[in-house]
Chains A and B, each alone.
Chain A
Amino acid sequence: MRAGRAVLRARSAAIVVAAIGLAAVVLTPPAAAAPADHEPSIGPGLEWVAHRDNPFRQGDDADFINSDLAFTGDYLVQGNYAGFSIWDIADPAAPELVSAVSCPGGQGDVSAVGNLVIVSIDETMSDDSCQASRVPETDENWEGLRIFDISDPRSPRYAAAVRTRCGSHTHTVVPDPASTDRVFVYVNAYSRGASLNCTGRNPLQIVEVPLGAPEEAAIAGELDLFDDESAFGPEDQVAGGAETRSTTGCHDITAYPAKGLAVAACRGDGLLLSIADPLAPVVLQRVRDPAVTFWHSGIFDNDATRIVFQDELGDGFINTCSPAFGADRGADAVWLIQPDALVKAGTYKLPRAQSDLEKCVAHSGGLVPVPGRFIIAQAWLEGGVSVVDLTDPAAPVELTWFDRPSYGTSMDYTAGIWAVYHYDGYLYASDMYEGLEVLRLTDPLFADAARYDDVGLNPQTQPAYAWVWREAPVVPTAEEERAPLETLSVDPAAIEPAESAEVTVSLPPGSLTPGETVDIWWMPTQSVLATVTAAADGSLAPTPANLPGPLEPGRYDVVARGDVSAPRLALASVVVAAPSPTSSPDASRARGDGGGVWWLLVVVPFALALAYHAALAWRRRRRAAP
């Protein structure tokens, strides 16, 4: 699923190092793109890396605003009410517009799955084409999902249009646990009363998208998430057919496939779903809260023990970030997932009061993957971006922010930052009118988040983050388990006893995931000797590593492990020759503190070891030959 171009990117550790060096330089360029009265307030530990204008923008016209974001490899897909943009973010400091796909219809919620881009349309259009115009919902109309093939990102192909009952306000990609050949898409929409096609209770429609044949995408199932008591009934109508019951569908769903869970924000209700069977979601919990008006979206923590819900009070048309509205209205609410219930544990509201000329309310955001913490980056429309630590939900702490004091002219309708997400070490913020902002969290707290190698991200399909590099590899002890492991070349492979030794490690092409961050581990002390980036061909360039001593006779493991290809390992053994060639294998047991436990258990004739390493050396030389 990783785009091939991912191989070109500078990554992780390399990025961190480079960015530190460039920090002074990058402070100024984005500012040049903004008028002086437009300068954002930027919180501590946040760097404004890049700004790009909205390519669709036409003045204050609300039909050309940006919406949500999705990521695939080095591409960022930015939804728009007029289509979507594809940005090349291989260099996050210099996003390049690859194409702006004109295909009108709001709200342009987007997902990216490999080479496919899925777009939500919930405005009633004259037809499913990219030349369609908006028509009243009481006229014949089309709304639903559009699916594009971006194999050629400069010229995306419109592969399929799937009509849905009530269009698609947002949607959520749910992988098929049984097959990587297809995904399911939950269509989040609700009825609008007097419209032609979309009245009454709107079931959750599930679209199946075969990744190899997107033109065959079709509705695969549907189910009603609400019981008769809470859901729309025939009496909930007024003259003309308008519906006065709000629980007719969901606004957004965030799936956490690794945990088999999803959180559904359904306007008046918050739901916790089991999606163990993606075609048959089951409601586990349902909550209402007098303090929460409009259940807009939700984010899990990485352990799936907590959820933060956003309350989009006023639907983005007003400023709720004022003293009048207070700290609880239009806010975030954190809920603990208990066995029998969701339990509210705290609220968070943007601490910076906004002018009533600005629109501000809790909007879309996602997890910033910091081990052991519940940190999110979230958009607050014209309130900007807020990065907040919800680890203690009773006492949330805003860590930093990005907030334009004014948008110059206040827009009539919703405006500001729609969504912000952490991807591959950077924050990407989608500003409805202004465009795209790239930000970077510089505090060391975010080192692991920055190092995390994303290969793609639909923020409403939460990945289970694992910080593999924080734990030493476990090397098997049995020869039959060691033998199949990738062989790490180490040169020299045999050394004399010494205080320390310099060796060079390398791997041939195809051994690693291109561009991934790789640690070289010295197993006797379970320490990292070097951290490098895998080359574009998946090789590991010859990398010097200093083996800490004292090196006494024995056989010691050196391991290369990539963050993405983990738990796969590449293994080498360094033999420290005994003073006498006749020394017994027992000599190699001299040192064994730390994790080098394996060799205590291995009793191999020394001759066999020698043969093994001779073979290694022979193989290495063969590879090294031009």
Chain B
Amino acid sequence: MTRRARGGGPRIARVAVALLIAVAGAGCTADPGTGTAATFVTPSPPDGSERATGAPTGDPVDSEATAADVAFVATMVVHHEQAVELAELAPGRARDPEVAELAARMALVQEAEADAMRTWLERRDSRDDMGTGHDLAEGMAGEISSSTIDRAAELDGAAFDRLFVQAMIPHHRGAVEMAEARLAEAGDPAVTRWARAIATAQALEIDRLLEIEARLPAG
């Protein structure tokens, strides 16, 4: 039942500072009615807690972007661009309706994600790292080579479907691997969530691609 108003460490201090700033700057707005900072409490751990004393174990994660964050985001932009390039070839070429739909969705989603990640890099003034991203992307897992893209552009019907699936499965696995590599590192928790979301989405699409691969006519 210990009540330690605003006594819970640097993060709480930051909350308090933010509140003070908010209060100070609230002159032109209505009272948001959130009460005072004294309403902040940090409960003690429960009895039998797994760690009742001492400093946090493990490496605390910095909430600022780390080099691992920038590398992950920059590389994923390039990785997504490859998927978008292949997926955008599907209209008019894909025969299997599920391949066509999956390709259309991939193109939309990964383009939007790549845009968001480019903006993220720009906000962090990491434009220079874009080059790094391309450098890092050299030989990255599941890369779709330009020769694969060129070949896909020449194909249509079942042959395109097969190439699409066969190129996209390892490509997605590569994305999952890249996300997991980032998840093993310290970094901004928000980027951690992003990496998890990408790994989840790509694993889902691998499921679908494997199902399609299993029923596509043999070439």
Instruction: Give the interface of A toward B (CB within 8 A).
Output: 29-30, 32-34, 50-53, 55-59, 61-64, 82, 94-104, 106, 123, 126-142, 147-148, 152, 154-161, 163, 190, 192-195, 215, 238-247, 267-268, 290-291, 293-294, 313-320, 324-325, 329, 356, 412-413, 435
Contact = CB atoms under 8 A, between A and B. Distances in A.
9 residue pairs, one from A and one from B, having the closest CB atoms: A135-B58, A32-B30, A127-B51, A315-B197, A62-B190, A126-B56, A318-B112, A158-B43, A242-B180
Given A158-B46, A290-B101, A412 B119 contact: yes
Interface stretch (B32-40, B81-89, B128-136, B151-159): B32-40
A133 B113 contact: no
Contacts of A315: 197, 200-201
Contacts of A33: 29-30, 32
A582 B184 CA distance: 94
Contacts of A435: 32, 34
A156 B32 contact: no
Nearest to B3: A155
Given A126-B57, A324-B108, A158 B45 contact: yes
A161 B46 contact: yes
Contacts of B102: 290
A243 B203 contact: yes
Contacts, number: 267
B189 A62 contact: yes
A412 B120 contact: yes
Contacts of B219: none
Nearest to B211: A288
A139 B189 CA distance: 14
A246 B207 contact: yes
B137 interface: no
B166 to A, nearest CB: 15
B57 A62 contact: no
Given A58-B15, A137-B184, A102 B41 contact: yes
B199 A55 contact: no
Nearest to A86: B39
Given A318-B112, A413-B190, A244 B173 contact: yes
Interface in B176-219: 176-177, 179-181, 183-186, 189-190, 192-194, 196-197, 199-204, 206-208
Contact of B113 (A238, A240, A314): A314
B18 interface: yes
A268 B190 contact: no
Given A99-B39, A133-B60, A135-B60, A238 B173 contact: yes
B60 A102 contact: no
Given A139-B59, A294-B204, A95 B41 contact: no
A317 B197 contact: yes
Given A128-B51, A131-B8, A156-B43, A52 B32 contact: yes
Interface in B4-32: 8-9, 11-12, 14-15, 18-19, 22, 29-30, 32
A244 B210 CA distance: 10
A132 B34 contact: no
A393 B60 CA distance: 49
A239 B102 CA distance: 25
B116 interface: yes
Contacts of B181: 240
Contacts of B32: 33, 51-53, 435
A356 B115 CA distance: 9
23 contacts: A33-B29, A55-B15, A61-B190, A62-B189, A82-B15, A96-B33, A99-B39, A101-B42, A127-B49, A128-B45, A133-B61, A135-B59, A136-B186, A152-B1, A192-B180, A238-B176, A245-B203, A246-B206, A267-B200, A268-B208, A293-B105, A314-B112, A315-B197
A319 B113 CA distance: 9
B67 interface: no
B63 interface: yes
B164 to A, nearest CB: 15
A140 B116 CA distance: 32
B49 A100 contact: no
B98 interface: yes
Given A126-B56, A194-B184, A61 B63 contact: yes
Contacts of B185: 136
A52 to B, nearest CB: 6
A62 B39 contact: no
B101 to A, nearest CB: 6
A478 to B, nearest CB: 54
A298 to B, nearest CB: 17
A108 to B, nearest CB: 13
Contacts of B177: 238-240, 242
A238 B179 CA distance: 12
Contacts of A138: 183-184
B125 interface: no
A106 B60 contact: no
Interface string B99-131: 001100100110011011001100100000000
A427 B96 CA distance: 44
A194 B183 contact: yes
A552 B153 CA distance: 92
Given A136-B61, A242-B179, A412-B123, 14 more contacts: A30-B30, A32-B30, A63-B189, A63-B190, A131-B56, A136-B192, A154-B41, A156-B41, A215-B47, A238-B141, A243-B176, A245-B207, A329-B105, A329-B108
